[in-house]
Amino acid sequence: MARSVAVVRVIVVGAGVVGTMHAWHAVNRGHEVVQIERETEARGASLRNFGQIWVSGRAGGEELETALRARELWEEIGARVPALGFRPNGSLTPVRGDLERAVAEAAVARPDAAARGYKLLTPGEARAINPALRGDFDAALYCERDAAVEPRTAQLALRAELLRSPGYTFLPGREVREVVGERAVRDDHGEVHTGDAVVLATGAWLGGLVRELAGPDLPVRRVRLQMMQTDPLGEPLTTSVADADSFRYYPAYASPALDELNARQPQPATAAEHAMQLLMVQRADGGLTIGDTHEYEHPFAFDTVEDPYDHLTGVVESLLGRPLPKIRRRWAGVYAQCTDTSRVVHRQRVRDGVWLVTGPGGRGMTCSPAIAETTANELGW
């Protein structure tokens, strides 16, 4: 849909990365935005993630196109907002043995491999790109298009830039309780916020008002994960790093070779029990963000468990060829994922002028700029 010429007023509910990117597109198209967040600042999955702009594992077609467009937008926004910490670091997935190598070879043979920047590297070529990988491996899948930002500060940096616009208002510490008529919401302070459009970007908050508006059959589920962060590594980790278990969880790697890997070389018991893969990114302070697990059955555990951390520590040390620095932080997080995992996001008109945008799952940090751009285009902002 063509971009609207007239100024519109957009009410964005939620200050995570999806909500903030909706606010970003609206403000940068010259519109007025009121963004409402029930916490002082967002505290959910938008902070509790790797900060990866993860093109490599995305399904071909719409999902990959969305991720590539988002990658372009992240780079553009990062140039304007250096505090995002955007860096085009790429990723390496070291592999061992013929079965894992065959999956990497199948990925490189994909028709969209060039768009992702896939290359299969020798250990020497991989270490030339990332010298910190001193452990033993037979080859590594490189994805040049992967990138990273700093998740703990990205929303703050984006908001600081948004606040430079006189048309942007941020209202923290307010929970939206009700949709009032059309294109208006009432918060728990009793204040009504009226606009030309309302976007509910409520993340993993799927109860309360969201259930009331979308009904009990919302095709979105909540997923819990565990992660950790270390003290500074003491040297650069120049790329993001995954292990071959990530092949089992990302649709880009589906192939007969993956079927054979799953049949002949199952995951270790702990990794299988917790649906684990290694993803690892170095933070601006030199520490490593390491994860993750996946828990789908409710009710979620209220505590974290140590076995997954022990498993990840062993995997990382085998790739780095050195002991892991001290663990500084451990945490759990919950994100919302479409039950049809082939869908990039669930976008639903729940009332006239009121749209629910949720369920990007683990794609949220990667795809949020393009998800928000699509909303803006479809609504004619």
Note whether 199 and 355 are within 8 A (CB): yes
Q: Are 282 and 288 in contact (CB under 8 A)?
A: yes
Which of 290, 22, 3, 311 shows the shortest CA–CA distance to 155? 22
Whether the predicted pLDDT of 2 surpasses 70: no
pLDDT at 91 over 90: yes
DSSP 267: P
- In tens, the pLDDT along 289-341 reads 999 999 999 899 999 999 999 999 999 999 999 999 999 999 999 999 999 98
Contact (CB, 8 A) for 20 and 43: no
CB 27 within 8 A of CB 165: yes
* pLDDT of the residue at 5: 60
Poorest-pLDDT segment among 41-50, 55-64, 101-110, 217-226: 41-50
* H or E, element range at 338: strand 327-338
CA atoms of 142 and 126, how far apart (whole Å): 8
Mean pLDDT of the chain: 96
Q: Which residues contact 372 (CB under 8 A, 6 or more apart)?
A: 18, 21, 22, 24, 25, 357
CA–CA gap between residue 264 and residue 277 (Å, rounded):
18
Contact between 93 and 118 (Cβ < 8 Å): no
Q: pLDDT tens for residues 152-191?
A: 999 999 999 999 999 999 999 999 999 998 899 999 999 9
Q: Give the DSSP H/E element, type plus range, for residue 111.
A: none
With a threshold of 0.85, does the pTM exceed it?
A: yes
For the chain, helix, strand, coil in percent to 5 are 35, 25, 40
Cβ atoms of residues 283 and 289 within 8 Å: yes
Residues sharing a CB contact under 8 Å with residue 65, sequence separation 6 or more, in sequence order: none
3-state secondary structure of 121: strand
**What is the C-alpha separation between 79 and 332, in angstroms, rounded?**
31
**pLDDT higher than threshold 50 for residue 1:** no
Mean pLDDT throughout 42-54?
A: 91
| pLDDT at residue 25 is higher than 60 | yes
Predicted local distance difference test score (pLDDT) of residue 69 = 98
Q: Which residues pair with 87 in a beta bridge?
A: 148
Question: Which DSSP category does 45 fall into?
Answer: T
The structural domains of the chain, ordered by start, are 9-46+153-219+342-379 (3.50.50.60), 91-144+220-338 (3.30.9.10)
pLDDT grade, residue 46 (50/70/90)? confident
Per-residue pLDDT averaged across 221-240, rounded?
A: 98
In percent, how much of the chain has pLDDT > 70? 99
Model confidence pLDDT, tens digit, residues 234-279 = 999 999 999 999 999 999 999 999 999 999 999 999 999 999 999 9
Query: 127, 139, 144, 145: which is closest to 237 by C-alpha?
Result: 127
